[in-house]
Chain A
Amino acid sequence: MSFFKKLKEKITHQTDSVTEKFKDGLTKTRDSFVGKVNDLVKNYRKVDEEFFEELEDILISADVGVHTVMELIDELKDEARTRNISDAVDIQPVISEKLAELLQKSEEETKLNMQEDGLTVILFVGVNGVGKTTTIGKMAHKFKEDGKNVLLAAGDTFRAGAIEQLEVWGERVGVDVIKQHAGSDPAAVMFDAIQSAKSRNADILLCDTAGRLQNKVNLMKELEKVKKVITREIPDAPHEVLLVLDATTGQNAMSQAKTFGQATDVSGIVLTKLDGTAKGGIVLAIRHELDIPVKYVGLGEGMDDLQEFQADQYVHGLFADVLEKAEEAAGE
């Protein structure tokens, strides 16, 4: 079976709304991006230097990052040579395959590390305005729907209205929020929240933190302290540290992943705002260089707009039109 067919089949078997939403979110993206790849395939029937240059531009325009793009292109060139591919149409599946492979080695790795019994603590970290608080709201909804007992910790005591924002989400979803007043010590909030979670027998505690730019040493130290307090109370917690990345972000996301990774041992990425036209291609580079997997994607501002990450869907979303075209061409 061809790679397209496999991909397509896999996706059609996946439940409907998930895929639809994902595709929906990415169609806006596609118009420009895939349009370009389309043109590329149309304009260049042959796989030559010019083809690769053009492809390089397309990947760069998706924020994949220069370094990773270069490596990827080199690999593709090798592949084209060894597989003896000269037609542009034939190189498409190789591209998709490579990207999907790079992003996800197994489906297991997008799963959250949930405790069978007892409390699971998830800490959310990231720079300002990326969508930490919103993602917590969405995730709380998801877990609540699964019948879990969820609690939120209002660890952003700094930004104006941050506690209230989380409270609105708590009300919306129907879960409690543990908070202190604005300006209080976030580590103390976490301590409180863990005690509450324990005494209420909560299944899941989702911890919000204030947005911070990764070059602020003091704020990063504060974050380390927050994490330490959690670990002190529950030795194997936090069970997940999710770095929230905005898909609109360019190369700086790599520096974010590095620094937050060092400070808090990030276990996964939530890539938000994929409903826009940005593609967050930097996650490819992050995966490649730091081996941090994307676990969830944000596709809007609503409660239901959070999806488990699926690499082939992601890649399919980017290349959907091309894939169809290529398949048609192959069927001819």
Chain B
Amino acid sequence: MAFEGLAERLQGTLNKIRGKGKVSEADVKEMMREVRLALLEADVNFKVVKEFIAKVKERAIGQEVLQSLTPGQQVIKVVNEELTALMGGEQSKIAVSTKPPTVVMMVGLQGAGKTTTTGKLANYLRKKQNRQPLMVAADIYRPAAIKQLETLGKQLDMPVFSMGDKVSPVEIAKNAMDKAKEDHHDYVLIDTAGRLHVDEDLMKELEEIKELTKPDEILLVVDAMTGQDAVNVAESFNERLGITGVVLTKLDGDTRGGAALSVKAVTDTPIKFAGMGEKVDALEPFHPERMASRILGMGDVLTLIEKAQSSVDEEKAKELERKMRTNDLTFDDFLEQLNQVKSMGPLDELLNMMPGAGKMKGLKNVQVDDKQLGHIEAIVQSMTKAEKQDPSLLNASRRRRIAKGSGTSVQEVNRLIKQFGEMKKMMKQMSGMQKGKGKKKKGGFNLPFM
């Protein structure tokens, strides 16, 4: 059972409504059931879901949906709005102490990504804010944890304070503070060992470190793939330490990330950063509104667009947009696009961010590697100018000729033509979203049934 986005989930109910022409309260109830399932499948905690549904239902029955001609769109709009509100505004700022150094403590469960995030944050502070952080290796338990942080330090060419694993973390933290002052570091980033929120001794240790270093920022590092337990974890860490923010890691995966909502709901602290990969530069500001649509399975459209924008050159993009609008995309553009998509990163990752991309089967199989690009290039070059511009000309005998001319097979030519069609569709969809984003505040999602 693959996950379905909210849009697909609502489809069934909406089909029924379409026949009736009027939306009843029972229909809304049924839609709410689908919303509930969508959220649960996305790993939002069931209690959080309950409260959320109650709120949305109220609004929905409060006529917003009942009287709408496009109830599906309305439900999604209401859900999206409520979700976004719950996620809060963007707050990707790290505290600055008036009395440097600013102390940041990383806490969380085992394997969540604390050490990696410590490295990323050090890099971020230096690069974006011109700071000189000192990283502190305060995990004396996990095998080679100190070595891990030191390796990151070496990669970044930034200092790591360590005293080996025979000294208590509290002691290490204390000495690190002295060292930071001595060397005029403006930030101290303390990497602590992963621990269970129910581990009394180790939670106490964190309290002691907190007591001693008076951190300006205590960041709970949470794995985006966390399930229902996220609320318990976040609640405990928050109760014991009073966390000031959350870093959500491994968001480069394909998880819906409902834990984001759960954590936000129980701690009411902002999610400040998103971990987007294993490398030290893969730390990004967290965008609550994007998370909302990701949780709903509507694709991380904005991220996709941003990614596209940052790697497509402005002029060409404009030209392309014109072509997309007028729908006279040619095979040459297709080639060009493939090259650009390639420079944006693996295609499958991009597809993961696309709403409805799952449906475009043809596209799923496009593996943009150099060898295939070579084939595609050869095929396109074997086309006549007219054929490049109008794929409908490509009858069987022309396809055979092209296959021969390019040293490929008819199957390959067929596949390419099919992919071209899909690409055109995708481009049209993307351009629709981009336009929508600018003009109306409709959310801008192109959902097939709306």
Contact = CB atoms under 8 A, between A and B. Distances in A.
A164 to B, nearest CB: 4
Contact of B225 (A165, A169, A252): A252
Contact of A161 (B113, B147, B258, B352): B147
Interface string B339-369: 0000000101100100000000000000100
A252 B255 contact: yes
In this complex, the interface size class of chain A, counting residues with CB under 8 Å from chain B, is: 35 or more
A62 B228 contact: yes
A67 B1 contact: yes
B252 interface: yes
A250 B232 contact: no
Interface stretch (A111-119, A125-133, A223-231): A125-133
A282 interface: yes
A123 B199 CA distance: 31
A165 B148 contact: yes
Given A32-B232, A66-B40, A218-B346, A129 B144 contact: no
B148 A160 contact: yes
Contacts of B45: 61
A212 B250 CA distance: 10
Interface in B129-147: 141-145, 147
Given A129-B113, A251-B256, A172 B143 contact: yes
B42 A164 contact: no
11 contacts: A63-B229, A129-B111, A131-B110, A160-B115, A164-B144, A213-B253, A215-B349, A250-B228, A251-B3, A252-B225, A273-B110
Contacts of B111: 128-131, 246, 273
Contacts of B267: none
Contacts of A32: 232
A214 to B, nearest CB: 7
B252 A213 contact: yes
A66 B1 CA distance: 10
B228 A63 contact: yes
Given A67-B41, A215-B254, A275-B196, 14 more contacts: A60-B46, A129-B112, A131-B111, A160-B119, A161-B144, A168-B144, A215-B252, A215-B253, A216-B349, A248-B226, A250-B225, A252-B255, A278-B227, A301-B141
Contacts of B145: 161, 165
A50 interface: no
B46 A57 contact: yes
B359 to A, nearest CB: 17
